[in-house]
Amino acid sequence: MMVYLDNNSTTPMDNRVKDIYCKSTELFGNVNVIYQLGIDARRAMNEAYDILYPGIGAADEDDIIITSSTSEGNNTVIKTFIDAFLKGSGKKHIITTVSEHSSIKAPCAYAKTLGMEVTYLYTDENGRIDPIELENAIREDTALISVLFASNESGAIQPIKEISQIARKHNIPFHCDGAQAIGKVKVNVRDLGVDYFTFSAHKFHGPKGVGGLYVREGAPYVNLIHGGNQMGGKRGGSVYLNGMIAMAEALKLANEHLDEMHTRVAKLRDKLEEAILQIPDTKSYVDKKYRLPNTVVASFRGIEGESMLWDLNVNGIYAATGSSCSSERLEGSEVLEALGEDPEIAHTGIIFSLSRFTTEEEIDYVIEKLPGIVERLRAISMTYAKVAPK
Amino acid sequence: MMVYLDNNSTTPMDNRVKDIYCKSTELFGNVNVIYQLGIDARRAMNEAYDILYPGIGAADEDDIIITSSTSEGNNTVIKTFIDAFLKGSGKKHIITTVSEHSSIKAPCAYAKTLGMEVTYLYTDENGRIDPIELENAIREDTALISVLFASNESGAIQPIKEISQIARKHNIPFHCDGAQAIGKVKVNVRDLGVDYFTFSAHKFHGPKGVGGLYVREGAPYVNLIHGGNQMGGKRGGSVYLNGMIAMAEALKLANEHLDEMHTRVAKLRDKLEEAILQIPDTKSYVDKKYRLPNTVVASFRGIEGESMLWDLNVNGIYAATGSSCSSERLEGSEVLEALGEDPEIAHTGIIFSLSRFTTEEEIDYVIEKLPGIVERLRAISMTYAKVAPK
Amino acid sequence: QYSNKVIDRMNNPKYLGEFTEEDAKKRGLKLVVADFGSEACGDAVRLYWLVDPKTDKIVDARFKSFGCGTAIASSDMMTELTIGKTVDEAMKITNLDVEKALRDDPNTPAFPPQKMHCSVMAYDVIIEAAAKYKGKNADELRDNEIVCECARVTRKEIEDIIR
Ligand SMILES: Cc1ncc(COP(=O)(O)O)c(C=O)c1O
Ligand SMILES: Cc1ncc(COP(=O)(O)O)c(C=O)c1O
Ligand code: FES
Ligand code: FES
């Protein structure tokens, strides 16, 4: 049996999406030309927009720029304010959080190399920032607030509406990295009150290499990719049309399956979580009411995360220790440390993330295998050794 | 009959590429993780690199960064030098050409907003720059030379080797926009002597939304998309793996069909060109020895380019007036003006670009239709009217 | 993206052609020939009118064009719209009237917004022709109608900006 529980990293494509994805490669004509092929392509593009706009609650006058990923969108937003700073906006300060993805942290680090300043808000034991702290962090020269919707690692959902109200009150543009939002909660960017919102199709059973950057009407914008008049001049490069069309379909399906996510999938998640907590010396993190419905973060005392992944993998179970890139960077532990866990335990964290394709059978299989895996690895573990150095 | 002769804008996917493209969407595991799915994905990625490196003649120690497009790669290169300038390199000057694509011109224009200076070299009646002029344009503070391999519009091929020698002599990094190179000529980046080389898969029968940025070992590099350690830390964002794999296949096939391009396809191009020149008051541009083997640029006196596209389209023939975006931007004429054509004729230019999928039957069909189209449109044309205002 | 009327008129313009002085003389009418735009700029149109000097009525009209499909279809429609009108009435025709007349259904634009400029020439050439007929300068006859509906831009505004 193969059980894929790393859906916060990336998801398999829905077969319905895949069909459209492959079929629409036929629409290869340039969308900007008058000939029939181009007109067909343009029409398909407009149909995709007609799904994307209501799909995230955007207004007609807003922009949705088709990008290659959340990472691209995040960089575009941060660099819009780097540009303004370089041109004398006088706004050198960015507020963000410690639980952002590298695609926010890295461009923020870059902003610093150009003389900007960044405040990283800490999160509490539920992985959430405190809006009051956020408000206190605001300065005269704050250019941007950027807070992710939810963490792929802790699953913690941030109080985005409260944050957007504060941002609005102080008249500061607010970006929300929404990579973990679509398919897990109903997204309405206008309701949320964000100025920017980024997402990637591959996080919700769409294709890789395509994402969206929502830009509220009138929000500052500077191209990351300068070029021709594609995307209304807001992003150069030929449009990845079949990707865009498939993303629209994936969004539609994600929204259609939201109920299922909050009932069936959340229940499976709960079942898994309870089974884990039956095992001695385990712990789960982040209060469910603040957590993505598909996510469990658990620690298994004495078992280093990567070794756990190994044994899970041997059993055909795929989970994660931290962010997508953690396996090379060993940063998984930061997740639990940020949730207030002791360093010794922090390295034993595992993230299980389900999807609408996860079945009860699969979860039962994992529940069946876990105790044995834990036992084997604890037998190896120093933590459980009886004799220690004197 | 449908005859697609706008292959310099974008190309249909080869079916063999499409198969691989769709199949490899199954490889959805994150390439950076240790579990089996990730390992399979990583292996496929490495296999793709094993085709891409020799496919463009890159050395092992060089980088090929998988991007979303040539446009992204072009922006990455230009902005690497913007970054250096902002950090005090003292190099504020970029040399490029008037015949670059918007994805070079636009970031160059952006560089100017930050205080840099740009020299646009003019081209001659063959659409080529003069290397001596290039050398004369070099200044103490020249940061970068960027010259496209060939123009999608005029088809003119630049003297890249000569340019790279000059660049090397003066120790100036040299970027070549190679969007029009692959599949039309044998590309060997080391032979060419370039430091950067960019391309897009959709120009050589690969998928949209994926491209490559070659970076010679040791050449300066700053991320456009900052993020995690994907692409060795050089580009954030989850890898568009099936796109990358398909691009590698497309490159392999493009190289395999090079001979055909220079024999069969070039002959068809010649046949079309001769037939066009049989029609009175027509002209073709750029000496064949400097022109892409698949391209004819012709003017039809009295017939505005867009109206020509219309009639071609009615007959199922797809061609172009200028750059992909010209239909919205009315810049097609710049191509012929740059080749020294009179303004009244410049607006009558049409670009026909063939591919390895173009058949003799198709070209014969176009040749059959063209005279009638020209006749009809000249009957509408003011140029051929007998009575003029006094 | 294009209405059937645009497509029809591009494929088979009804008022394509020209009149000569002889045509005018034979019918006892006055020939007016006016150009707007230039081939060097990429868009141009020429309008031929046969006007009854007694009533100022445009009895017949033809056009020639150097422009895209939209320009040709717009010119054809514009030419048709001027027939049967007096010169003063014809001057009231705007590119928006031409665009509306080219719609298949009243609520769907006849062509994409970025092609709107191609129909503007159709208005301008009427003014040129009217000026010729009246022996006046075309600039005196232009007023402030809206030429770009999307942006609500008037001709005068455009001219002020260009100046
Ligand atoms: C919160 C968050 N932001 C950004 C990303 C990056 O997404 P992509 O790799 O598609 O750019 C991820 C994916 O792990 C994420 O979870
Ligand atoms: C010379 C050149 N550079 C860049 C591009 C842009 O390619 P893409 O749209 O794939 O970024 C093109 C495509 O028209 C091109 O011909
Ligand atoms: S008249 Fe120039 S594009 Fe239409
Ligand atoms: S752009 Fe719409 S009428 Fe001018």
pLDDT per residue, tens digit, chain A (390 aa), is 899 999 999 999 999 999 999 999 998 777 666 677 778 888 999 999 999 999 999 999 999 999 999 999 999 999 999 999 999 999 999 999 999 999 999 999 999 999 999 999 999 999 999 999 999 999 999 999 999 999 999 999 999 999 999 999 999 999 999 999 999 999 999 999 999 999 999 999 999 999 999 999 999 999 999 998 888 899 999 999 999 999 999 999 999 999 999 999 999 999 999 999 999 999 999 999 999 999 999 999 999 988 999 999 999 999 998 654 443 344 556 788 889 898 888 889 999 999 999 999 999 999 999 999 999 999 998 888 888 888
Determine the residue of chain C that is closest to A46 in CA distance: C1
What residues of chain B lie within 8 A of the CB of A230, using their CB?
A: 325
Give chain A's domains with CATH numbers. 3-10+258-378 (3.90.1150.10), 15-256 (3.40.640.10)
Q: Tokens in use for B373?
A: 């189209």
| Residue from B299, B357, B307 nearest B10 by CA | B357
Cα A70 to ligand 1 centroid, rounded to whole Å = 6
Inter-chain CB proximity A202 and B110 less than 8 Å: no
Q: Which atom of ligand 2 is nearest to the CA of B73?
A: 11
Q: Tokens in use for B159?
A: 């003297």
Task: State the pLDDT confidence band at C66, using cuts at 50, 70 and 90.
Answer: very high
**Which ligand has an atom closest to residue B103 CA?**
2
- Report the 3 state secondary structure along chain B: CCEECECCCCCCCCHHHHHHHHHHHHCCCCCCCCCHHHHHHHHHHHHHHHHHHHHHCCCCCCEEEEECCHHHHHHHHHHHHHHHHHCCCCCCEEEEECCCCHHHHHHHHHHHHCCCEEEEECCCCCCCCCHHHHHHHCCCCEEEEECCCECCCCCEECCHHHHHHHHHHCCCCEEEECCCCECCECCCHHHHCCCEEEEEHHHHCCCCCCEEEEECCCCCCCCCCCCCCHHHHCCCCCCCHHHHHHHHHHHHHHHHCHHHHHHHHHHHHHHHHHHHHHCCCEEECCCHHHECCCEEEEEECCCCHHHHHHHHHHCCEECECCCCCHHHHCCHHHHHHHCCCCHHHHCCEEEEECCCCCCHHHHHHHHHHHHHHHHHHHHHECCCCCCCCC
Cα C152 to ligand 4 centroid, rounded to whole Å = 8
Q: Tokens in use for A190?
A: 């206008």
Cα A224 to ligand 4 centroid, rounded to whole Å = 28
Q: Counting beta carbons within 10 angstroms of the beta carbon of residue C150, is it exposed (0 to 12), middle (13 to 18) or buried (19 or more)?
A: exposed
CA A30 – CA B10 distance, rounded (Å): 7
Question: Does residue C155 register a pLDDT over 80?
Answer: no
pLDDT at A333: 65
CA A190 – CA A199 distance, rounded (Å): 15
pLDDT digits (tens, 9 = 90+) for B238-278: 999 999 999 999 999 999 999 999 999 999 999 999 999 99
The reply to whether ligand 3 has any atom less than 6 angstroms from the CB of C70 is: yes
Strand partners, B317: B3
The reply to whether ligand 3 has any atom less than 6 angstroms from the CB of B306 is: yes
Is residue B339 within 8 Å of residue B153, measured between CB atoms?
no
- Tokens 């049967």 sit at which residue? C84
Q: Which atom of ligand 4 is nearest to the CA of C96?
A: 3
Classified as helix, coil or strand, A199 is strand
- Tokens 């973990």 sit at which residue? A180
Domain definitions of chain C by residue range: 4-162
CA B349 – CA B334 distance, rounded (Å): 10
CA A105 – CA A118 distance, rounded (Å): 9
What share of residues in chain A are helix, strand, coil (percent, to 5)? 45, 15, 40
Is residue B176 within 8 Å of residue B147, measured between CB atoms?
yes
Query: How far apart are the CA of A337 and the nearest CA of chain B, in angstroms?
Result: 20
Nearest residue by C-alpha to atom 16 in ligand 1: A152
First-residue to last-residue Cα distance in chain B: 45
pLDDT at B329: 42
Classified as helix, coil or strand, A337 is helix
The reply to whether ligand 3 has any atom less than 6 angstroms from the CB of C67 is: yes
Is residue A236 within 8 Å of residue A226, measured between CB atoms?
yes
Residue type, A226: H
Question: Does residue C158 register a pLDDT over 80?
Answer: no
Is residue A103 within 8 Å of residue A78, measured between CB atoms?
no
Question: Ligand 1: which of A96, A108, A180, A204 to mutate, judged by most atoms within 8 Å of the beta carbon?
Answer: A180
Task: Output the DSSP codes for chain C.
Answer: ---HHHHHHHHS-SSB----HHHHHHTT-EEEEEEEEETTTTEEEEEEEEEETTTTEEEEEEEEEES-HHHHHHHHHHHHHHTTSBHHHHTT--HHHHHHHT-SSTTS-SS-GGGHHHHHHHHHHHHHHHHHHHT--HHHH----EEETTTTEEHHHHHHHH-
pLDDT at B326: 38
Inter-chain CB proximity A6 and B30 less than 8 Å: yes
- Considering only CB atoms, B209 lies closest to which of A11, A22, A209, namely A209
Inter-chain CB proximity B33 and A237 less than 8 Å: no
The reply to whether ligand 1 has any atom less than 6 angstroms from the CB of A152 is: yes
Determine the residue of chain C that is closest to A38 in CA distance: C1
- Tokens 């396809």 sit at which residue? B265
pLDDT at B32: 65
Question: Does residue B332 register a pLDDT over 70?
Answer: no
Question: Does residue B324 register a pLDDT over 50?
Answer: no
- Tokens 């097609």 sit at which residue? B332
Provide the Cα torsion B158, B162, B164, B165; round to 10°. Answer: -170
Phi, psi angle pair for A381, to nearest 5° = -70, 135
- Considering only CB atoms, A42 lies closest to which of C1, C68, C69, namely C1
Determine the residue of chain C that is closest to B330 in CA distance: C42
Q: Which atom of ligand 1 is nearest to the CA of A178?
A: 1
What residues of chain A lie within 8 A of the CB of C68, using their CB?
A: 34
- B218 Ramachandran zone, left/alpha/beta (phi>0; psi -120 to 50): left
Is residue B389 within 8 Å of residue C46, measured between CB atoms?
yes
The reply to whether ligand 2 has any atom less than 6 angstroms from the CB of B268 is: no
What residues of chain B lie within 8 A of the CB of C66, using their CB?
A: 302, 304, 347, 381-383
Determine the residue of chain B that is closest to C114 in CA distance: B328
| Residue C11 touches partner B, C-beta closer than 8 Å | yes
CA dihedral (C84, C90, C96, C99) positive or negative? positive
Nearest residue by C-alpha to atom 2 in ligand 4: C150
Inter-chain CB proximity A39 and C1 less than 8 Å: yes
CA C163 – CA C143 distance, rounded (Å): 16
**Which ligand has an atom closest to residue B309 CA?**
3
What residues of chain B lie within 8 A of the CB of A75, using their CB?
A: 224-227, 236
Inter-chain CB proximity A10 and B4 less than 8 Å: no
CA A361 – CA A368 distance, rounded (Å): 10
Cα B82 to ligand 1 centroid, rounded to whole Å = 27
Classified as helix, coil or strand, A14 is coil
pLDDT digits (tens, 9 = 90+) for C9-55: 999 999 999 999 999 999 999 999 999 988 887 789 999 999 999 99
Stretch B336-346: mean pLDDT: 88
For A165, B212, B237, the CA distances from B209, given in Å and listed in that order, are: 36, 11, 13
**Which ligand has an atom closest to residue A96 CA?**
1
Stretch B14-38: mean pLDDT: 85
Give chains near B: 3+ CB pairs under 8 A: A, C
pLDDT digits (tens, 9 = 90+) for C77-127: 999 999 999 999 999 998 899 999 999 999 999 998 878 888 888 888 999
Question: Ligand 4: which of C148, C158, C161 to mutate, judged by most atoms within 8 Å of the beta carbon?
Answer: C148
The reply to whether ligand 2 has any atom less than 6 angstroms from the CB of B177 is: yes
A108 is catalytic: no
Inter-chain CB proximity C67 and B383 less than 8 Å: no
Determine the residue of chain C that is closest to B325 in CA distance: C114
Query: How far apart are the CA of A39 and the nearest CA of chain C, in angstroms?
Result: 7
Query: How far apart are the CA of A29 and the nearest CA of chain B, in angstroms?
Result: 7
| Residue from A56, A285, A76 nearest A149 by CA | A56
CA A92 – CA A219 distance, rounded (Å): 18
Cα B65 to ligand 2 centroid, rounded to whole Å = 17
Q: Is residue A297 within a helix (H) or strand (E), and if so which, with residue range?
A: strand A295-300
Mutant choice from B281, B344, B382, B386 vs C, greatest count of C C-beta within 10 A: B382
Q: Percentage of residues in chain B with pLDDT exceeding 90?
A: 87
Length of chain C: 163
**Which ligand has an atom closest to residue B180 CA?**
2
**Domain range C4-162, CATH architecture:** Alpha-Beta Complex (3.90)
Stretch B195-210: mean pLDDT: 98
What residues of chain B lie within 8 A of the CB of C71, using their CB?
A: 304, 307
Phi, psi angle pair for C134, to nearest 5° = -85, -5
Stretch B189-205: mean pLDDT: 98
Stretch B202-212: mean pLDDT: 98
The reply to whether ligand 2 has any atom less than 6 angstroms from the CB of B347 is: no
**Which ligand has an atom closest to residue A181 CA?**
1
- Considering only CB atoms, B313 lies closest to which of A34, A70, A74, namely A34
pLDDT at C159: 63
pLDDT at B264: 98
What residues of chain A lie within 8 A of the CB of B237, using their CB?
A: 68-72, 103, 200
| Residue C33 touches partner B, C-beta closer than 8 Å | yes
pLDDT at A31: 67
Mutual angle of helices B360-380 and B266-278, in 10-degree steps? 30
